[in-house]
Amino acid sequence: HTAPKVKLWVIARNVTFDFTVVKGWRHLRKAGYKLKFFHNQGTCNIISVRKKSNSIVFLDSMNWFVESLEKTGERIGIKRIAVDYKTCSKSELSIACKNHVLIELENFKLFIRFLEGNRVARLCYTRGSTAMAAFLLSHYTTKIYIHNNKQAIDLERESYKGGRVECFYLGELTNETYYMLDVNSLYPFVMRNNLYPVKYTKIVHNVTPRSLAASLQRKAVVAKVLLETDLPIYAVRRGRCMFPVGRFWTTLCTP
């Protein structure tokens, strides 16, 4: 099935479904392969098998591209051929299947060319691991220190509140032109253009407002603070995220 000491990658969309339909485990066991690693969560699927010096890994194309095949085809300029699987002829089904495989193949050719042409990274099993490999290869210029101070970790987790979404109008709007806006690559943009903390230094207690203000001039800070405000702009997480007014404790952080 594969050359000695060379791992064969088998990539398919919704690979666990196809793997079950074609009785993949039965055929692999018959060929002498044993399971080395299995991961199936959401659209991310990895099945790694091995026998002696031979290895095969089955990967879902949605490990990298979480979109429909139709969207992938539109993006790369190949229209997906749709058929009614219950009524189509074998000839029509064959044409559609070849078209679907072509979309996957050409998409990955473009992806590999992008990685190689821009010297981004090696191709890993998921988009997350590929992104991490790209970061380590080209952008890891300042060491990031991972600490294990429980008090500091608890503060860090308490300070993370997630995003905020507000509806300024409820109902149907039909009398004007409206636009849907989104931001691409927001995190890379702000990381490239701003300074962010990379190392835990210390934890202190009973800090005075003056001392805290001085630290904020040169350091990033996470702090549990007592607030008094009439503006609903400071988040408190108690089962869900709220923005109260008045006097209350919360944990805040600098950018």
| Chain segment 239-248, per-residue pLDDT in tens | 888 999 999 9
Q: How confident is the model at residue 1 (pLDDT cuts 50, 70, 90)?
A: low
SS3 102: helix
Region 102-122: mean pLDDT is 92
pLDDT at 48: 96
pLDDT at 232: 93
Q: For 192-210, how does the pLDDT look when each residue is reduced to its tens digit (9 = 90+)?
A: 898 888 889 999 998 998 9
End-to-end CA distance of the chain: 52
Residue from 229, 244, 237 nearest 158 by CA: 237
Give Dmax (Cα) for the chain.
78
Give CA 146 to chain center in angstroms.
21
Q: For 154-183, how does the pLDDT look when each residue is reduced to its tens digit (9 = 90+)?
A: 999 999 987 788 888 899 888 888 888 888
Region 32-44: mean pLDDT is 93
Look up residue 126 and give its two tokens: 């998921």
Mean pLDDT (the chain) is 91
pLDDT at 75: 96
* Structural domain boundaries in the chain: 7-137, 150-253
Q: How confident is the model at residue 50 (pLDDT cuts 50, 70, 90)?
A: very high
pLDDT at 226: 93
pLDDT at 158: 93
Please state, for a pLDDT cut of 90, what percent of the chain lies above it.
65
Q: How confident is the model at residue 76 (pLDDT cuts 50, 70, 90)?
A: very high
Residue from 15, 46, 50 nearest 36 by CA: 50
Residue 5 pLDDT more than 90? no
pLDDT at 52: 87
SS3 31: coil
Lowest mean pLDDT among 70-79, 128-137, 242-251: 128-137
